[in-house]
Amino acid sequence: MELRPLYEVVAKKAAELREQGKTHMEVCEALNSLGFRTRTGKPWRHPQQIVKLLRSFGKADSA
């Protein structure tokens, strides 16, 4: 399965959450609660993962 399209969905959701004022850690928690996992199948644990995710998909990070 191609991961890029799936990660596009995750990046879009993460960007939406950031636009709502959520911190990077809150985005991690929200993605986990929605059932999203990293490409290795693990939960989102580190705020830096969100920063890198947004950057890799060209999503602006508001803070």
Q: Model confidence over 21-53: pLDDT tens digits? A: 999 999 999 999 999 999 899 999 999 999 999
Distances in Å between the Cα of 11 and the Cα atoms of 1, 23, 33, 39 are 18, 15, 15, 12
The residue whose two tokens read 């950031």 is 18
Which pTM value belongs to this model?
A: 0.86
The rounded distance, in Å, linking the Cα atoms of 29 and 54 is 16
